[in-house]
Every structure is written in structure tokens, then in C-alpha cells.
Structure 1
Amino acid sequence: MKIVIADDHSVVRSGFSMIINYQKDMEVVATAGDGLEAYRMVQKYEPDIILMDISMPPGESGLIATGKISQDFPDTKIIILTMYDDEEYLFHSLKNGAKGYVLKSAPDAELLDAIRSVYTGDTYVHPKMTNILVKQYITHDEMAKDDTNPFKILSKRELEILPLVAKGYGNKDIAEKLFISVKTVEAHKANFMEKIGLSSRPELLEYAIKKKLIEF
């Protein structure tokens, strides 16, 4: 199995690479420090599996990258590897195309089991999170009905730009970072500010933290 690891901490990337490369049926072919780099590594190496961290400041988040990669490279299966045992992250990850959700605190054997399970076509969720999935199924996915849910009301491009604006990046910096024009940034910014009903960056920052689009 060809594997890519995306995490903003080099120590984490090195540690998981050692564990995986020790296996006879696995090989880490590349690593990435944020979502944009993860997308490029998938494009270049066409891996079977990518282990994706959720939060990779100041780069593109793993959730956004997951949506892009699952759409453009459906043969690459995505496993979210995170410290967050949070139901919102779990639901957004699965809805964006992830096939696995593993906590970084899990034993090495669990991570390896998850990789092998997802590779064969199964979906793997950390045992601690399965009760959340059952509860959500019983309540008919109330989160999907929430009109304040950013993953429901905002486009993928707006979800890329919003966290960067909240962090204080200027329009020009965002345009260069995402390889789009300044006018495009301005248009998307105006659209999502209207959609969520905010008018200032402090309000946007509070919103982004509350909705877990960025870390505090």
C-alpha cells in the first residue's frame, strides 16, 4: 500500500512514517504539512491511502483537503488521524469523503488495522466514536438540518477563504495562497459574510472558532 501522511508537525510525520514503513505491506511515499500540499502529493504519487490531520495551521485544513481529494481522486482513501474525539469533526469528515477516523492517542495496532480495513473497502471509525454515530442515526441527522452549519451553507471555496480571512490574511495574500484572483477572493468574501450575517473580522474570527473552522 502506498501511503501519504499529512500533518503540520514534522515529529508526528516522522513517527507515523517509522511505524508504517516497518510493515511489509505498507510504504510511506510522501508527507505533507497542510491540505494544499497533501492535494499535490496525492496528485503526484496517487497513493492508496492518505492519513489526514484535521487542523494544520496556518495552511489549508484537513477537512477542506479531504473534500477536494475525495472528489478529484476517488481511488485514494482518506483516514482522518486526529486528537479530536468530537462529533462535529467526525460527521464533517465522513460527509467530506473520509473512510476512516482514528484518534492519535490510539495504539499503533489500531492505526494499522484501520489502514488495512479502509484499503479493502471498509469504513473504520474509532470505537469510542461509534456510539456517536448510532445516536446521530437515531436522531435523523439533526446537524444536517441546521441552517447555521457552515459545511451546509458555504461552498468549498468559501470554506477555504473564510478561515484565512478570520486569521487576518489580506485579499492579496489569500489570492496568492489559493492561486486565484483578488477579485475572486473579494467576491467569495462578500458572499459568505452575507450568508452568515456578519460584518467584521472579529465577528468572523469568533464564528470560525465556534464552528471549529480554525483552532483558538
Structure 2
Amino acid sequence: MTEPIRVLIAEDLEVLREHFAQLVRGESGLTLVGQASSGKEACLMARTYRPDVILMDIEMDVKHDGIMAAKTILEELPGTRIVFLTVHEDDETVFGAFEAGAVDYVLKTAQPAEIVNSIYSAKAGNSPIRPEIAYKIRSEFTRIRRSEAKMFEAMTLLSQLTPTEMEIVDLLLEDRKITEIAQARNVEISTVKTQINGILRKFGKRRTKEVTRLIRELNVTHLFHNVKRGN
């Protein structure tokens, strides 16, 4: 006969904790091994009872308390499956939960059957990615790919800049005007204009603001500061 799935519940609100406990008790294939009201308590109970699955609230004592507890538990008990229960659907929380090692992410407002099924699925190792979570993951993957493509393009362009052009871009990042750049470099304004035109051609841009905006978006301004300082 198959052993019941050992479940630990971690939820700081007593009324919700008892609600989830009743769901577990109502299933013959599940057995409740403990109830925790904080991340710290969840860690202690996990070590003691070694549950198969933990229903873990994300925010208990402090923000993301459950996520921090999950990381600790999975370091010690990598075979444990964690299903996060939360009222939050923001991207930061979703990605934080999966980064911590969650196998599923269920809203506390979900139907009882969905919560119970998430326990069975977690134990079986085939937890589904719900449509709303799959959408977030796809969106993030697309964002990363686009960001990587932009970064590669920018780094290719930067490699074509001369040290002088790098210094000029650094001054542009400080919102210096052409006359100020000419004074700072002790050259003619016409010389600076020619050099800026060369920078614009390499970046395929028409205005210096477009160049500086791209560099700021990619968070590589430090590269220009280093060149300016001779590093």
C-alpha cells in the first residue's frame, strides 16, 4: 500500500492555516505532519518531520519569509517539494518563488481541489505550470533575450569606439553641451562636432540623446568612466 504524502503547512494566519489543514486531513492520500506560523518554525519542523511536500506562505514574519525558508530547507532536504501559497501575482514574487526552488505556485483564493491537486502533483514531480505563470515566464524569457541581443549589439558598437570617442560619450553622459566638451578637452568646437558625428554613425543614431539613452538602459556607463580615468 502506498504511503500517504507527508504534508507540512506554513502559514502565519491561523484561520488560513486551519483551512489548509482541513483540506489535507480530508484526503486519505495525505497526512498532516505539522503546522508552522513562520519561516523559522517551518525550517525547524522540516528538519524534524521531513515532509514530502510543504505548503508555504510567502510572506509571514517578514516580506518573502517563506522564500528565504524554502532556500534553507531545500539546501538541507533537497527531496522536499515546496508549493507556495500566496495572494500575490506580481512578477518579482513569482520569479522569487521559482528561483527559491518552488515546484508550484498557487493562489490562496484557489479552489480547494486545485490546492489539493497541487500537493499530489508536487509529490509526483509533474506540477503543471499554470497559464498565468507560464505567461509571466515567457514574457521574462523574451525580455531577457531582447536584453541580451541589445547588449551584444551595444558591446559590438563600443568595441569600435576610439578612446577619444569613449571620453566624449562619457562627457555626453554627464549632459555636457558641445561647447563644454570642447572646453573640457581643449579643442575646437568643430573638432568635437566631427567626433560626435563619427559616434552617431557607429551607433546608427541621429541624436546624442539616443546614444546616451541606450547606454544607460544597458547599464554600461561605468565602462566610459573607466576609460576617462585611464583604467
Which TM-score tier does this pair reach, normalised by the shorter chain? 0.5 to 0.7
Equivalent pair of 1:102/1:125 in contact (CA under 8 Å):
no
Which one-letter code corresponds to 1:129 in the other structure? Answer: I
Compute the TM-score of the two structures, normalised by the length of structure 2.
Answer: 0.58
**Is 1:86 aligned to residue 94 of structure 2?**
no
Equivalent pair of 1:36/1:59 in contact (CA under 8 Å):
no
CA distance in 1, matches of 2:21, 2:137: 30
CA distance in 2, matches of 1:12, 1:136: 31
Q: Secondary structure at the match of 1:24?
A: coil
**Is 1:108 aligned to residue 106 of structure 2?**
no
Q: CA deviation at 1:123?
A: 3.4
Equivalent pair of 1:103/1:126 in contact (CA under 8 Å):
no
Provide, for residues 159-203 of structure 1, a one-character-per-residue CA deviation record: whole Å limited to 9, x for no partner. xxxxxxxxxxxxxxxxxxxxxxxxxxxxxxxxxxxxxxxxxxxxx
Q: CA deviation at 1:59?
A: 9.0
Q: Give the corresponding residue for 1:33.
A: 37
Q: Give the corresponding residue for 1:24.
A: 28
Equivalent pair of 1:52/1:81 in contact (CA under 8 Å):
yes
* Alignment counterpart, residue 138 of structure 1, candidates 142, 162, 167: 142
Q: Give the corresponding residue for 1:96.
A: 100
Which structure 1 segments of 5+ residues have no match? 144-216
Which structure 2 segments of 5+ residues have no match? 148-231
Q: Secondary structure at the match of 2:88?
A: coil
CA distance in 2, matches of 1:141, 1:121: 28
Aligned length in residues: 144
Which one-letter code corresponds to 1:90 in the other structure? Answer: V
Q: Secondary structure at the match of 1:85?
A: coil
Q: CA deviation at 1:134?
A: 1.3
Q: Give the corresponding residue for 2:60.
A: 56
Q: Secondary structure at the match of 2:7?
A: strand
Compute the TM-score of the two structures, normalised by the length of structure 1.
Answer: 0.62
Provide, for residues 14-48 of structure 1, a one-character-per-residue CA deviation record: whole Å limited to 9, x for no partner. 11111111111001110001001000110000100
Which one-letter code corresponds to 1:50 in the other structure? Answer: I
Q: Structure 1 residues 57, 137: closer, same or farther in 2, change over 3 A?
A: same
Whichever of the two has the greater Rg, that structure is 2
Q: Give the corresponding residue for 2:198.
A: none
Identity of aligned residues (%): 31
More helix by share: 2
Q: Secondary structure at the match of 1:113?
A: helix
Equivalent pair of 1:136/1:142 in contact (CA under 8 Å):
no
Bigger mean CA deviation after superposition, 118-127 or 4-13:
118-127
Q: Structure 1 residues 133, 112: closer, same or farther in 2, change over 3 A?
A: same
Q: Note the 1:122-161 alignment, pairs <5 A.
A: 122-140=126-144
Equivalent pair of 2:52/2:81 in contact (CA under 8 Å):
yes
Equivalent pair of 1:34/1:60 in contact (CA under 8 Å):
no
* Alignment counterpart, residue 75 of structure 1, candidates 58, 74, 79: 79
